[in-house]
């Protein structure tokens, strides 16, 4: 009995500590929705503008006021594509409306960059991204300039860039009934990343049309491998090149969602345990003492409750015992054969049979 109690206490202490850890972990959750940057002037609570980006009539103009202009819109709070304790992977979906004027500027990108990326530095790189420095980035380019240096197929394509302007996957926008990216018309795009299948999908249509069923571009990307635990910012970024191509953004919605890691089989990351060890080390002693005290209190409470429950059940069953065996020889037979403990089970069986008989 004492071994059992000790075991029960241990289990309870473990569960309690697990519970505390769970409520301590921060729910990473990035979501914003700006349907109209001018009316919804509150956008600066979530987004920052850099470079030549500014609010103009009806939206944000990232670049194009003068030649060689560049600008960025970035969200203010970072997020991760992998969460630990509990381990989760983060998927995201976004929708935005944009227009590019007819000049032959670079076009623009949706970008993901880590903390430490110099947001307010522009070095003349394509799409307003840094070109001269080797910095990690993920980008979906909406490219309106055929740049042979980067193997561009034409001046009207969408591509996926992983830390390089040479895209890992491209789609020819001239292949769909849309016209040019830089027609000056308002277009809309959906970018979806599904963490469980590690798949990125990009859709494009004219404003007012429905979301296309088939993506314009679909490509496998392992964000958790690329970024691991990095804290990331998402943004839109453009440059006008040697032109005054205006890149305007009219609305932008972005939303993350998490998937538990166990839904996807992935080899265990030994580093995960190392970091956890370090986390444990830095927990202060008083914190730990408090937790143990709490666990003991909870365990004592649960133990008392459990004992109380057992006593009640025993009492109820015990009070029924005399009426049970009298008219049933089989039960009397059993009574002879089994010890006290077994008798209890028989009484329960009998009680259940009685209940059935009444129906």
Ligand X SMILES: *[C@@H]1O[C@H](CO)[C@@H](O)[C@H](O)[C@H]1NC(C)=O
* In the complex, least distance from residue 106 CB atom to ligand X, rounded to whole angstroms: 13
* In the complex, least distance from residue 27 CB atom to ligand X, rounded to whole angstroms: 4
Host H or E run for residue 89:
strand 88-100
CA dist list (Å): 112 to 63, 80, 224, 240, 282: 19, 11, 13, 20, 31
Place of tokens 């709490």: 294
- From 167, 137, 139, 138, select the one nearest 154 (Cα to Cα): 167
In the complex with ligand X, which residue's Cβ is closer, 93 or 174?
174
- Looking only at the bridges linking them, the beta strands covering 88-100 and 107-114 are unpaired
* In the complex, least distance from residue 47 CB atom to ligand X, rounded to whole angstroms: 14
In the complex with ligand X, which residue's Cβ is closer, 9 or 150?
150
* In the complex, least distance from residue 170 CB atom to ligand X, rounded to whole angstroms: 9
In the complex with ligand X, which residue's Cβ is closer, 44 or 349?
44
* In the complex, least distance from residue 230 CB atom to ligand X, rounded to whole angstroms: 21
Host H or E run for residue 285:
helix 285-320
Structure tokens at 330: 């089989």
To 10 degrees, the CA torsion angle through 90, 96, 99, 104?
A: 0
In the complex with ligand X, which residue's Cβ is closer, 123 or 175?
175
In the complex with ligand X, which residue's Cβ is closer, 31 or 271?
31
Whole-angstrom Cα distance, residue 61 to residue 100? 10
Host H or E run for residue 303:
helix 285-320
* In the complex, least distance from residue 255 CB atom to ligand X, rounded to whole angstroms: 8
> How far, in whole angstroms, is CA 138 from its chain's centroid?
17
* In the complex, least distance from residue 86 CB atom to ligand X, rounded to whole angstroms: 13
In the complex with ligand X, which residue's Cβ is closer, 168 or 345?
168
Interface residues toward ligand X, by CB under 6 A: 27, 29, 31, 153-154, 172, 174-175, 242
* In the complex, least distance from residue 85 CB atom to ligand X, rounded to whole angstroms: 15
In the complex with ligand X, which residue's Cβ is closer, 195 or 346?
195
In the complex with ligand X, which residue's Cβ is closer, 231 or 269?
231
Structure tokens at 117: 């990326």
> How far, in whole angstroms, is CA 345 from its chain's centroid?
50
Whole-angstrom Cα distance, residue 7 to residue 294? 17
Structure tokens at 85: 């304790």
A 10 A CB-CB count for 215 gives 18
> How far, in whole angstroms, is CA 44 from its chain's centroid?
23
User: What values do phi and psi take at 142, rounded to 5?
Assistant: -110, 90
């Amino acid at each position: 009995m004492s071994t059992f109690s000790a075991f029960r206490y241990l289990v309870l202490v473990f569960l309690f500590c697990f519970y505390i850890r769970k409520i301590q972990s921060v729910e990473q959750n990035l979501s914003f929705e700006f349907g109209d940057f001018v009316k919804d002037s509150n956008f600066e609570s979530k987004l920052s503008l850099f470079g030549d980006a500014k609010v103009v009539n009806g939206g944000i103009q990232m670049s194009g006021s003068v030649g060689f202009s560049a600008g960025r819109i970035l969200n203010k709070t970072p997020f991760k594509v992998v969460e630990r304790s509990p381990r989760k992977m983060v998927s995201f979906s976004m929708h935005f409306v944009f227009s590019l004027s007819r000049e032959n500027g670079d076009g623009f990108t949706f970008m993901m960059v880590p903390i430490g990326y110099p947001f307010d530095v522009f070095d003349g790189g394509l799409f307003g991204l840094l070109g001269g420095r080797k910095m990690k980035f993920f980008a979906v380019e909406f490219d309106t300039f055929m740049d042979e240096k980067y193997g561009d197929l034409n001046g009207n394509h969408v591509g996926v860039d992983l830390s390089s302007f040479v895209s890992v996957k491209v789609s020819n926008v001239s292949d769909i009934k849309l016209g040019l990216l830089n027609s000056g018309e308002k277009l809309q795009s959906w970018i979806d990343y599904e963490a469980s299948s590690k798949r990125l999908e990009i859709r494009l249509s004219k404003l007012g049309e429905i979301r296309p069923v088939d993506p314009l571009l679909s490509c496998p990307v392992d964000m958790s491998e690329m970024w691991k635990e990095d804290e990331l910012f998402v943004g839109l970024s453009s440059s006008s090149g040697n032109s005054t191509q205006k890149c305007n953004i009219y609305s932008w919605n972005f939303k993350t969602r998490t998937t538990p890691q166990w839904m996807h089989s992935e080899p265990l990351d030994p580093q995960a345990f190392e970091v956890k060890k370090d986390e444990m080390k830095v927990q202060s002693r008083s914190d730990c003492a408090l937790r143990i005290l709490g666990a003991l209190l909870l365990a004592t409470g649960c133990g008392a409750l459990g004992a109380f429950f057992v006593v009640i059940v025993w009492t109820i069953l015990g009070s029924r015992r005399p009426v049970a065996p009298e008219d049933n020889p089989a039960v009397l037979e059993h009574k002879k054969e089994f010890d006290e403990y077994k008798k209890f089970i028989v009484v329960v069986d009998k009680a259940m049979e009685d209940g059935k008989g009444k129906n």
